[in-house]
Structure 1
Amino acid sequence: MSHIVITGANGFVGRALVRRLQEDPKHQLTLIDQSFDSAPAGPNTRRVLGSFGDPAVLDDALRLPADIVFHLASVPGSLAEREHALGYQVNLQATLTLAHRLAAQGRKQRRAPRFVFASSVAVYGPLGADAVHEDQPARPAISYGAHKLMAEIELADLSRRGELDAVSLRLPGIVARPAAETGHGSAFMSLVMHRLAAGEPYVCPVSAQATAWWMSLPCCVDNLLHAAAMSTAEAPASRCWQLPVLHLSMEQLLAALVERYGARCRQLISHQPDPRIEALFGNYPALRTPAALAAGFRHDGDAARLIQQALAPTP
C-alpha cells in the first residue's frame, strides 16, 4: 500500500484528485489543509488540519513516510500580489520547508519520495505574439510566479542530489472553478462558463479576441496522476514540464458554448476589458509542448470536450 500525501486537499483541484485516488483501495491518503468542510473521507483517508509548513503538522502527516506527495496548496496569484507577506510565506517558505522535510525523510529511508509540484504558467510573465516553446525563459511579472519559479529550482536541485524525485508541472487556467471562489485573476475563465451555461448574463473583463491557455479539472487530474507514476529516468535537469494546453480565444470558447447551450449565449455576454487582467491572463500566444506530449501528458482535445469536462458534475 502506497502512502500519498496531498497538500491543499480541500481545494478545487485537491478534492477532485482525492476522489480519483480513493478509487484505488491500495492507496493510504493523508490530506493536509486548513479546513475540511467538503474534502472526501474514506476508510484509508486521514485528515491533518493546519498549514503544510507547520512542523507539528508535518510531524503528524509524515508519521508514516510518504511515497508520493502532491503539493497543490498555494495562495492564488491576485491574493498573493495584494498580500505579499502571505504569498511569500506560503508559496515559497512553506513549500521549501515541506520539500526539505521530505528530502530528510528520503535520506533516512534511502528512497527519494516522488514530489509532484503544482507550478504555474505565471512563471513566464509577459509573452509576445510568437509561439511559446518549452524552453521559454521564465520572467515572472507577479510574486506568485516568482515564488513558483524559485520552488521549481530548489526541487530540481534536491532531485539532482537524489533526495527527492520531483516533477514540477506548469499548470494553465484550470476550469471551471466554483463561481464563488475568489483570489484568482483568471476567474473569468470559469465564470463565463458557469454564467452562460446557466443562462445568466456575464460581463467579461477581457475582450472577445483575448486568448488564454485552458485545461479542464478532469484533464488536470489525469496529468497529476501521470506525473506521479511516470519514469523520471530521462527527466530534464529542471524536473519541469509545461503541460499541453488548449489555446483558445474568448470568441472560440463562446462558439463552443453556443454549440452546446444555444444561440442565446451570444446575447448574454458583453465585454468590458480590464487592461491589467487582459495583459496578465488574456494575451497568451500559441504553446508548443512536444516533450511533454512525448512524456505522456495531454490536453483536453478541443473546446467542446473542454466545456463538457469542465462543467461535468462532481460526484
Structure 2
Amino acid sequence: MNILIIGGGGFLGQKLARRLIARGELRGRQIAGLTLADIAAPAPLDAPFDIACTACDITDRAAMDALLAPGFDAVFLLAAVVSSHAEAEFEDGMNVNLHGVLNVLESLRLQGRAPVLVFTSSLAVFGGEVPDPIRDWTIPNPQTSYGTQKAIGELLVNDYSRRGFVDGRTLRLPTISVRPGRPNRAASSFMSSIIREPLNGEEAVCPVDPEFPHYYLSPRLCVENLIRGAEIEAADLGQSRTMTMPGRTLTIRQMIEAMTAVAGPEPAKLIRFEDDPAIRDIVSGWRFDYDPAKALALGLEADASFEENVRYYLEDDRPT
C-alpha cells in the first residue's frame, strides 16, 4: 500500500502521517510507502517503511502529474486555502480550492489507476435559508467563496467516482479544535486559540459573543475518521460519496466551561471578548445543527465531550 498526503505539511497532514506510521496498515494492507507533499517540503518523519517529503504546488498541473506519476493506492487531499484567506484573496482560493483540486483529479483520471481518494470539504458549503437540522442530503447553499469552491470540489469528486476515475469519498469537517500551533487565516481559527493560548498561559481574543454556537471535533478523532473514511468499501458509500463528519454543537461559553472543568479557572481569565465585524460577517452565515447519520452508520465518531478535546490537546500538543 502506497499512500500520498497532499497537504502533508499542515497540522492535520502531519497528525495523519504519524497515525498511519503507527498503524502500519490501511485497508487491510501493509503500508510500503508514504509520501507527504505540500507547498514547502514537510519535515521528515521516522517510519519503518519508505517515506518521502516533497515540495509541490497543487496549482501547477505539470507538478501534480509528476507527483502522482509513481502511482498511489490511496490519496488524502487535504490542501486548501482556508476561509478568511479565500474570502480576502479570491484568486488564491480559486487557484487552490478549485483548479488545484481539478488538477489532482485530472492527473488521477489520466493515470487510469482509480485509487482511493479522501477529499476534505467543509461545513461552509451550507448556509442561507435551509431548515435545521442539516442532513447529508441537504442541498449546499454556500455563503462564502470558500464554501462555493469546496462545494464544487465535492461534486467533482462524486462525478469522477461515478465514472470510475477515482474511488472517492468526501468528508465535510467540523471545526477542528483544539488545533496546535499558531492561528491561521481560517475564520474559525479563534475557536482553537481561545482554548489553546490560555492553556499555554497566554492571552486570547474571542471576536464573537459567548453564546455563539458551532460544531466541533478534536484533531485526534478527525484523523481517526479520515482513516476510517478511507477504509469504507465503495459499495457502502451509495450514490453520494459525500458525508458530514460527526461532531458536537457547543457555544463558546460551553467550550470555556469545559476547559475550566479540565484545567481549572485560571486559563479562562486570559480570554477577552472583542467584536470583529469581518469575522462576524463570515461566521454569521455558518450553520451549526447537523445530523451526520451516514457517517455514524459507517463507523465514524464524535468526541464524547469537549472536555475530551481539551485533554487531547494537553496530552498531544501543548508545548512542554
Partner residue of 1:88 out of 88, 94, 101: 94
Partners in 1 of 2:77 and 2:205 — Cα distance?
34
Partner SS for 1:22: helix
Partner of 1:13: 12
Cα deviation code 1:181-233 (max 9, x no counterpart)? 32111111110111221233333111110111111111110010011111120
Partner of 1:4: 3
Cα deviation code 1:129-155 (max 9, x no counterpart)? 832222222111111110111011111
The alpha carbon displacement at 1:158 in A equals 1.0
Structure 1 segment 196-215 matched on structure 2, within 5 A: 196-215=198-217
Partner SS for 1:15: helix
Residue correspondences, number: 310
2:42 is the counterpart of 1:51: no
CA distance 1:127–1:267, shift in 2 (3 Å) = farther
Q: Quick check: 1:169–1:241 contact (8 Å CA) kept in 2?
A: yes
The alpha carbon displacement at 1:178 in A equals 3.7
CA distance 1:129–1:166, shift in 2 (3 Å) = closer
- Which consecutive residues of structure 2, in runs of 5 or more, have no partner in the other structure? none
Identical columns (%): 32
Partners in 2 of 1:227 and 1:165 — Cα distance?
11
Partner SS for 1:141: coil
Q: Quick check: 1:258–1:265 contact (8 Å CA) kept in 2?
A: yes
Partner of 2:310: 307
2:123 is the counterpart of 1:117: no
Structure 1 segment 288-303 matched on structure 2, within 5 A: 288-303=291-306
Partner SS for 1:312: helix
Partner of 2:135: 133
- Which consecutive residues of structure 1, in runs of 5 or more, have no partner in the other structure? none
The alpha carbon displacement at 1:276 in A equals 4.5
The alpha carbon displacement at 1:88 in A equals 0.4
Partner SS for 2:226: helix
Code of the residue aligned with 2:136 in structure 1: it is E
The alpha carbon displacement at 1:279 in A equals 5.0
CA distance 1:195–1:314, shift in 2 (3 Å) = closer
Cα-Cα RMSD: 2.1
CA distance 1:190–1:126, shift in 2 (3 Å) = farther
Partner of 1:232: 234
Partner of 2:270: 268
The alpha carbon displacement at 1:272 in A equals 2.2
Partners in 2 of 1:203 and 1:63 — Cα distance?
45
Partner SS for 1:233: helix
The alpha carbon displacement at 1:314 in A equals 4.5
**TM-score between the two structures when normalised by the length of structure 1:** 0.91
